[in-house]
Amino acid sequence: MDSSTTISAFSTLCPGTLTDALLIVIFGFIIAFILSFFIGANDVANSFGTSYGAKALTLYQICILGSIFETLGAILLGARVSETIRSGIVDVNLYDGEEIILMLGQLSALISSAIWLLIATALRLPVSGTHSIVGAIIGYHVVVFGGEGIKWWELGKIIISWFSSPVLSGIASIFFFFILQKFVLCKDDPLEPGLKSLPIWYSLVIVVNFFSIFYNTSGLLGGMPLYGVFLISFGGGLLAGAIVACFLVPYMRKKIHEMLPILITAQQTESIDVTDAYRKYDCDSQDKEMNGEKEQNLKATSSEQLEDHPVIVQLCSPLLILSAIFSAFAHGGNDVR
């Protein structure tokens, strides 16, 4: 059956009155709410999962922050992604004169995506709502037109991003954790190295996220020239680093010194060897001189030693929350919209 025959069959079944279109819009609105519910249960959890797992945020706090920044991301950043979903995957001009069929196709994409996210969430599988909706759009278009009108180059770039994202994220994670391990975690006293590195980490987070927000963005934040993006990104990063160095670092130093005895007592109550906890990392290249003899750094040999040193917890929690907020903001601009 060719595409013209399929179109004729759909047109016969769906005359395409104004009432039909209104009903599709209303039903699509309801399905969109259901889909957003499952996106919140699955995709949004990915943004704040690390913060919750590290006990930096409670579930109640995550719900509040997620609601705010996911919504802001969708409003401020989501126009370009929405345009790609609307017309960047298939040629919507093929549906000229048959808009009801296009509306039904988009509605079927919403329904199928919601069903898949429901199944994935029930199975505790972290999946992407964007992947689901892209596949669903391709599916209904193939039913109507076959392979005609599919923008293969754009689709190929989307598919490549599905595979490259975890690889690149993993490489970046290895790189940054190696730096933290070498210069902070493996030190006898991680407090001062950690405090000195805080302005650098905050600046880096601000620069990377500001650049991703303002670069090549349409919508309310769109239309900014490249030099403006660099100025805002690096200017914001330098300003954030200065604020952290002048205000946050002294505050954190005072707070940690006051809380450290309490934190150590709490960990000792749980039978955790605090003095060795932060030595759990493999620091083979850094032998320490103690009592005139070299003592090799200890590796974790039990689950009890895998707990974080209280200094590291206090230093990293605010930065972890800030990263999660930016992740939610970017997720709102990509998946939610």
pLDDT of 267 > 80? The answer is no
Rounded CA gap, 273 and 96, in Å?
70
Q: What is the average pLDDT across 249-261?
A: 81
- Rounded CA-CA distance 233/224 in Å is 12
> Sign of the C-alpha dihedral, residues 266, 269, 275, 280?
negative
Query: Is pLDDT above 80 for 9?
Result: no
- Please say whether the beta carbons of 186 and 283 come within 8 A: yes
**47, 209 contact by CB (below 8 A):** no
DSSP letters, 119-160, are HHHHTT----HHHHHHHHHHHHHHHHHTTTTB-HHHHHHHHH
Q: What is the pLDDT of residue 187?
A: 78
Are 29 and 114 in contact by the 8 Å Cβ rule? The answer is no
User: Mean pLDDT lowest for which of 33-42, 112-121, 184-193, 271-280?
Assistant: 271-280
User: What pLDDT is stored for residue 12 in this prediction?
Assistant: 56
Name every residue whose Cβ is closer than 8 Å to that of residue 293 and which is 6 or more positions away in sequence: none
Which region among 50-64, 211-225, 307-321 has the lowest average model confidence (pLDDT)?
A: 211-225
- pLDDT of 253 strictly over 50: yes
Is pLDDT above 70 for 296? no
Half-sphere exposure in the Cβ direction for 206 (13 Å, CA):
21
Average pLDDT of the segment spanning 67-95: 81
Give whole-number Cα distances, 303 to 248, 267, 299, 310, in Å. Answer: 33, 14, 11, 16
Reported as a pLDDT band with limits 50, 70 and 90, residue 11 is low
End-to-end CA distance of the chain: 35
- How many C-beta atoms lie closer than 10 Å to residue 76's C-beta? 18
CB 213 within 8 A of CB 330: yes
Asked if residues 242 and 199 have their Cβ atoms less than 8 Å apart, the reply is yes
pLDDT in tens, 36-69: 888 888 877 777 878 888 778 888 888 888 888 8
Token output for 314? 């206090």
Q: Is 6 exposed, middle or buried (0-12, 13-18, 19+ CB in 10 A)?
A: middle
Output Rg (C-alpha) for the chain, integer angstroms: 26
In sequence order, what E strands does the chain have? 288-290, 293-295
Q: Can you give the pLDDT at residue 254? A: 85
pLDDT surpassing 90 at residue 192: no
Q: Which amino acid is at 273?
A: D
Quick check: 167 pLDDT over 90?
Answer: yes
Give the model's pLDDT for residue 247. 92
Instruction: Provide the pLDDT for residue 181.
Output: 84
Identify which has the larger pLDDT, 244 or 130.
244
Q: How far apart are CA 117 and CA 123, in angstroms?
A: 10
Give the C-alpha separation, 9 to 144, whole Å. 10
For 39, 121, 279, 281, 303, the CA distances from 299, given in Å and listed in that order, are 40, 36, 7, 6, 11
Q: Please give the pLDDT value at position 270.
A: 52
Task: Note whether 220 and 336 are within 8 A (CB).
Answer: no
Supply the pLDDT for residue 309: 65
In the structure, what pLDDT confidence band is assigned to residue 89 with cuts at 50, 70 and 90?
Answer: confident
What is residue 121's predicted lDDT score, i.e. its pLDDT? 87
Residue 194: band (very low, low, confident or very high) from pLDDT cuts 50, 70, 90: confident
pLDDT at 84: 76
Closest CA to 306 of 269, 331, 273: 273
Q: Is pLDDT at 271 greater than 50 in this prediction?
A: no
Backbone angles phi and psi of 231, in degrees to 5? -60, -45
Backbone angles phi, psi at 14, to 5 degrees: -125, 90
- Name the residue type at position 309: H
What's the mean per-residue pLDDT of the chain? Answer: 77
Q: Can you name the residues that pair with 288 across neighbouring β-strands?
A: 295
